[in-house]
Amino acid sequence: MERVGFVGLGRMGRPMAANLRRKQFALSVFDTVPSATEALEELGASRARSRADLARTSSVVLTMLPGPREVREVVLGPDGLLTHLHPGSLVIDSSTVDPATSDALASACAERGVGFVDAPVGRLASHAERGESLFMVGASDADFARAHPLLAAMGSTIHHCGPPGSGTRMKLVNNHLAVLLCTINAEALALSTRFGLDLERTLEVLHGTTATNGQLKVNWPQKVLAGDTSRGFAIDLAHKDLTLIVDAGNAERVPLPMAAAGRETLSSARARGFGGKDFSALLDAQCDLSALPPPRLKAGTPPG
Amino acid sequence: MERVGFVGLGRMGRPMAANLRRKQFALSVFDTVPSATEALEELGASRARSRADLARTSSVVLTMLPGPREVREVVLGPDGLLTHLHPGSLVIDSSTVDPATSDALASACAERGVGFVDAPVGRLASHAERGESLFMVGASDADFARAHPLLAAMGSTIHHCGPPGSGTRMKLVNNHLAVLLCTINAEALALSTRFGLDLERTLEVLHGTTATNGQLKVNWPQKVLAGDTSRGFAIDLAHKDLTLIVDAGNAERVPLPMAAAGRETLSSARARGFGGKDFSALLDAQCDLSALPPPRLKAGTPPG
Amino acid sequence: MERVGFVGLGRMGRPMAANLRRKQFALSVFDTVPSATEALEELGASRARSRADLARTSSVVLTMLPGPREVREVVLGPDGLLTHLHPGSLVIDSSTVDPATSDALASACAERGVGFVDAPVGRLASHAERGESLFMVGASDADFARAHPLLAAMGSTIHHCGPPGSGTRMKLVNNHLAVLLCTINAEALALSTRFGLDLERTLEVLHGTTATNGQLKVNWPQKVLAGDTSRGFAIDLAHKDLTLIVDAGNAERVPLPMAAAGRETLSSARARGFGGKDFSALLDAQCDLSALPPPRLKAGTPPG
Amino acid sequence: MERVGFVGLGRMGRPMAANLRRKQFALSVFDTVPSATEALEELGASRARSRADLARTSSVVLTMLPGPREVREVVLGPDGLLTHLHPGSLVIDSSTVDPATSDALASACAERGVGFVDAPVGRLASHAERGESLFMVGASDADFARAHPLLAAMGSTIHHCGPPGSGTRMKLVNNHLAVLLCTINAEALALSTRFGLDLERTLEVLHGTTATNGQLKVNWPQKVLAGDTSRGFAIDLAHKDLTLIVDAGNAERVPLPMAAAGRETLSSARARGFGGKDFSALLDAQCDLSALPPPRLKAGTPPG
């Protein structure tokens, strides 16, 4: 069985690593914040003294880090993981990064005989805790097969999207839509609020036409419309993803005026203090901008 | 039983009127294009010599016209319908117009003791033909009850959205989302195409997350992704609706940067010759702008 | 000498009419607000009892009205000016309207043998008071020659832009730039403020490169940067002009994403209560949105 | 006298270095493209064998590189300049980079007792050739005084904008305006072209109001309006600067919807093949998008 190393035990990484341990994977863990490993040690994981140590003793290393800069430093930097991994080992990066970073990791790994899989995560921290994450995976067929048991320990839906780099690209396409849905939903519901339309009736109409969408159907009734703006996926993170997306579109010469406008909508929400709230709270930010009271569902409205 | 007058027998009006006739409503019809009434006369409708004549002999008048200017002229203009309608009669306007126009109609009708219902239509001409339209209705309870049998003859889903003017407002909110979904879907799929991702796999992933949406799920697989850009709801009409929406948002001081950006995306598509195509062809327009081949589903892919 | 009728004695119309009177033109005036004519009567103008009366007794009629709707009603409406003007008379419209309105006026006038000149006004009310307005004129050569003495009584710069309708079109092009300059200046100075750059030094640098512009050079140092947001051209009016511009661009299939984004910037400023302030106060609105203190020049800074 | 090292002899760096040599500065040069140093060697500069060598033998090093990544690598990377510079020496970076990069350089230099000046360049390569560049300088007073003779050898206008990092920030503010002026000028002139307005007359009107601006006045008449789209500052470079600007605004929470929209306008121009043309050719790109013939001045029109 693989000896698994896990680097990056933040909000998403911790429950993911815990699920690996629960499925009996031999696990060593590392985080720059020492206390972050405690919960995992209680589950039987060992704490690596350094990233180098973790790399030398693992056959597969998973990384779950804040962004491209951290991933490049941890994997490719001086004294990075790649310096210490054995040929034949495998790197699985679940961070959300730009395509150029995944491509750089893939080719640096290939040069040293190390496999590479990009497997960014869909869904929320609460899914990760239940082992119900969704993975968008870029990998060769062989590396996909090798990574599959680990991914299956952490998630319930695993898409093999194509060769290395495809997982990252799919994630950006997916989040382009998921985040922009919130910005257009926010505009539509602010307008209906100003129009004096009843919220429940508005949702009923919209869900009966092609205007319906996953955010409005799944996330919104449970969160901001129910008065809960605190949990889930923060506007700050959605803004980070949109930055990766818009920059990728500009690098690739695909004009994305909607994404660019949406990013500034999120930037404006962040400037006005909404950055830490759930990204469905873009409705509250839009209402704040429009001098409107934010709409809420009546208590007892059935979700979705 | 009501004597029904119908003004405006275009692409949507004709099948709507035909369904009224099929349900045995006494029907007189009028259109500025004389040949437009022929099909209805064959079904037993009588052709009114003038709008004045139609108004004098009807207890309920339905209007289905291109836009606010035409509706104001036909109903409120010199020698318009309202000059000739009897007190106690009812006007049902199914055109897509701005809220100020619906409000002006409602108050002018009220002054003359005529009822008013705004009942714009959702869904496509093909639904209208099958009597499966969706109506978003603004009306008093009494007028709603009176209009209901006629609407039920033409449609299968009828939402009472609130007082007069609410149907028009709901329609704008609904089409804000339905049209902008196409602009963001177009950006996302152009990006996935440039990224080299497989179209079928991309759709499979997106439909498994909150990125899914009614346009991508219902309309797109049947239309532009299947190579059919000719039927349905034209970009020119979607652009007209977005113009009403953005202007209403500006009049109401609800900032709509996404809608404004989307309107220019449609304007650009129109400038480059895509105006007459189905609004799912915004993908082709986006690919044209991005110097990309537009993606198509492989033959035999199951829809949705 | 011409007998001049003047309709619309608001903030701009009153000083314009006063200058005609000062240059000894025989003048009758009309406004729907009766008190608006008082100052003119003191200067020797006669008050017309009605628009019809004014039209019947004038050889040239000037109109200075809020927008397209009012101009169409006053000139073309039932009992409008055109019903009562003598063949051979001349209409000069100085209102800011859309091209379709100017074209409709021009052709309705031509049908009745009445000349038509569109002559919207540049510069501010303070210029109008000093007889230093700028006119952008659309007219035949003959009508331009006939209108010239009147325009010269009210303004110091008169551009013959082409045939009827050209003045209106030039005005929209001019205000597209003048208004958008304020939106981009506001972004640039908000950014420099966040960056901690000194305001005086920033302006000195910008005026030494091609980044300089008429708004930043002429209007800004005297107004918002000097702490005065009260006078001049209001954001509400700039927003109205931008609405005409964006709608004209959409009607003409010229994509204008910058103008569309700028219009929403103004819409957001209006929603947050800045609509009545000078349009250079877009800087304050941008700083408000960015949670920044608005920058002001140190006392004693020389203008421009 | 200082021994000057110069790294980066591209389109801007070469004439800058040549002017240092002409003013008799002792100069060693380095570029990764070996042939790039030839012209300088002919002027009496010595070619350094490596960057390390150049650093060890220089008291002041100037860098003129494509962007943040290159600057970080050359100055801060393994075996970078900073490893080899003597305490008491000075780094002057004239590249256009993001504020975070300038700040990182400043603090890394300070740690090693090396002075740091950010001095990005305004104006064009043709100015650099004539020693007429403009420098926006961030530096301590002492470092500014030390750098001044070198900057004065290369440029005719030198602004001390504040402490280290201020030059970079000022450059971004300046280019925000300079580039966006082109995008709004392009929209305005495309609209005037569609409106059928005469180009010369349009410019005459605009230059007489606050709509005038440095780009329209200085660059445009000599370039794209005169039929020359080949020289000056390329759309690709303007796009790179706008990317730095929008990303800085997003990092700093200053919403920049105009800059974001403008960046996509440039992205669209690049996707359609205009990237290598002068940035005043945004007019041609806008006309291409609007299905319009691009306007040109009549031969013999006096500039500006």
Whether residue A106 is predicted with pLDDT greater than 70 in this model: the reply is: yes
Concatenating the DSSP letter of every residue in D23-56 gives TT-EEEEE-SSGGGGHHHHHTTPEEPSSHHHHHH
The neighbours of chain A, by the rule of 3 or more Cβ pairs under 8 Å, are: B, C, D
Put simply, whether C83 touches B (Cβ < 8 Å) is: no
Region A32-61 average pLDDT:
95
Q: What pLDDT, on a 0 to 100 scale, did the predictor assign at position A304? A: 46
Which tens digits make up the pLDDT trace of A135-168? 999 999 999 999 999 999 999 999 999 999 999 9
Direct distance between the N- and C-terminal alpha carbons of chain C, in angstroms, rounded to an integer: 43
pLDDT for residue D304 is more than 50: no
Task: Please name which of A77, A90, A236, A225 lies closest in space to residue A149, comparing C-alpha atoms.
Answer: A90
Torsion over CA: B250, B254, B260, B263 (sign): negative
Helical residues (DSSP H) of A155-281, grouped into ranges: 166-194, 199-207, 214, 220-222, 235-251, 257-271
Which is nearest to C214 in space by CA: A225, B260, D207?
A: D207
User: Chain D window 131-170: which residues touch C at a Cβ cutoff of 8 Å?
Assistant: 134, 136, 157, 159, 161-162, 166, 169-170
**pLDDT at residue D229, as a whole number:** 84
- Residue A153 CB neighbours (<10 A): 17
Please give the backbone phi and psi of residue B228, each rounded to the nearest 5 degrees, phi first: -115, 110
Res. C54: pLDDT tops 90: yes
Q: Rounded to whole angstroms, how far apart are CA atoms A102 and A87?
A: 19
Catalytic residues of D: 171
CB-CB under 8 Å, D271 with B291: yes
Size of interface A-B (CB pairs under 8 A): 228
Does residue D191 contact residue C254 with C-beta atoms inside 8 Å? Answer: yes
Give D47's strand partners.
D29
Report the C-alpha gap between C97 and C63 in whole angstroms: 12
- Is residue A206 less than 8 Å (CB to CB) from chain B? yes
User: Whole-model pTM?
Assistant: 0.96
- Asked if pLDDT for residue D300 goes beyond 70, the answer is no
Q: Please indicate whether, in this complex, the C-beta atoms of B264 and C255 are within 8 angstroms of each other.
A: yes
Q: Which two tokens stand for residue B9?
A: 């027998």
User: Which residues of A does the annotation mark as catalytic?
Assistant: 171
Which candidate, D12, C207, C250, places its Cα nearest to that of B268?
Answer: C250
Closest-CA residue of B relative to D264 is B261
- For residue D159, the model assigns a pLDDT of 98
- Which residue type, as a one-letter code, is found at position B13? G
Q: Identify all chain D residues contacting B273, using CB atoms and an 8 Å cutoff.
A: 291
Mean pLDDT of C271-282: 96
Q: Which domains does chain C have, with CATH numbers?
A: 3-163 (3.40.50.720), 169-289 (1.10.1040.10)
pLDDT in tens, chain B (304 residues): 799 999 999 999 999 999 999 999 999 999 999 899 999 999 999 999 999 999 999 999 999 999 999 999 999 998 999 999 999 999 999 999 999 999 999 999 999 999 999 999 998 888 999 999 999 999 999 999 999 999 999 999 999 999 999 999 999 999 999 999 999 999 999 999 999 999 999 999 999 999 999 999 999 999 999 999 877 899 999 999 999 999 999 999 999 999 999 999 999 999 999 999 999 999 999 999 999 999 999 976 654 4
Q: Residue B230's pLDDT is what?
A: 78
For residue A300, name the pLDDT band (cuts at 50, 70, 90): low
State both tokens at B227. Answer: 């190579």
Average per-residue pLDDT in chain A? 95
pLDDT in tens, D38-56: 999 999 999 999 999 999 9
Residue A241 is predicted with a pLDDT of 97
pLDDT value at A40 more than 60: yes
* Predicted local confidence at residue B124, as pLDDT: 86
pLDDT at A191 over 80: yes
- Residue B212 to chain A, least CA–CA distance (Å): 5
pLDDT band at A78 (very low <50, low <70, confident <90, very high): confident
Taking each helix axis as running N to C, give the angle between helix C141-154 and helix C13-22, from 0 to 180 degrees, rounded to the nearest 10: 90
Task: Output the DSSP codes for C138-186.
Answer: E--HHHHHHHHHHHHHHEEEEEEEESTTHHHHHHHHHHHHHHHHHHHHH
Question: Chain D contact for B291, CB < 8 A?
Answer: yes
The structure tokens listed for C189 are: 């100075």
What residues in C contact A273, CB-CB < 8 Å? Answer: 291
List CB contacts (< 8 A) between B289 and chain D: 268, 271-272, 289
Please state which of the ranges B251-255, C10-14, D299-303 shows the lowest mean pLDDT.
D299-303
Average pLDDT of every residue of chain D: 95
Distance to chain C for B261, nearest Cα, Å: 6
ipTM entry: 0.96
Residue C73 contacts B where some CB pair is shorter than 8 Å: no
* pLDDT score of C300: 66
Record: contact C292-D249, CB cut-off 8 A: no
Rg (CA), chain A: 21
Q: What is the mean pLDDT of residues C83-106?
A: 98
Cβ pair A15, A129 in contact under 8 A: yes
How much is the average pLDDT of A63-87?
Answer: 95
More confident residue, C304 or D298: D298
Q: How many CB atoms lie within 10 A of CB B131?
A: 18
B39: left (phi over 0), alpha (psi -120 to 50) or beta: alpha
> According to the model, what pLDDT value does residue C304 have?
46
pLDDT, residue A231, reads 73
Is there a contact between A176 and B194 if contact means CB atoms under 8 Å apart?
Answer: no
The whole-angstrom distance between C45's CA and the closest CA on chain B is 35
pLDDT computed for residue D172 by the predictor: 98
